Amino acid sequence: MQQDQISENFKKIETWRRIIFMLIYAFIDSMVKLMLWIVILLQMASVLISGKTNNNLLEIGYSLSSYHYHILLFLTFSTDQLAFPFAEWNLSTDVELLKKATNQRT
């Protein structure tokens, strides 16, 4: 009985589709983390040189951090909502919209 269930699980297209998306997002997330570190270093330089944070870098940092959060929610099966580029960017960067999508799953 259990062997049959396992065999059925391996045949589900939805599971393989999600695994493919997870691999894509894992790659994208590694690039996002690199970009976040660049933003972090630029923001530190801005504070050291001018004594204040750069508003453009704050916006980029928030946007990338929210996107990273959305990807992690998908990778940990906490949401079925796809992140950018398979969904609108504003869903990934708006944490409140993302929370609503995640809560609808439960």
pLDDT of residue 54: 96
0.75 surpassed by pTM: yes
Question: Is the distance from CB of 21 to CB of 87 less than 8 angstroms?
Answer: no
Residue 53 three-state SS: coil
Q: What is the pLDDT at residue 53? A: 95
pLDDT at position 98:
66
Per-run averaged pLDDT (10 residues), the chain, 106 residues: 81 92 97 98 97 95 92 92 86 68 59
Is 92 within 8 Å of 85 (Cβ atoms)?
no
The answer to whether 106 and 77 have CB atoms below 8 angstroms apart is no
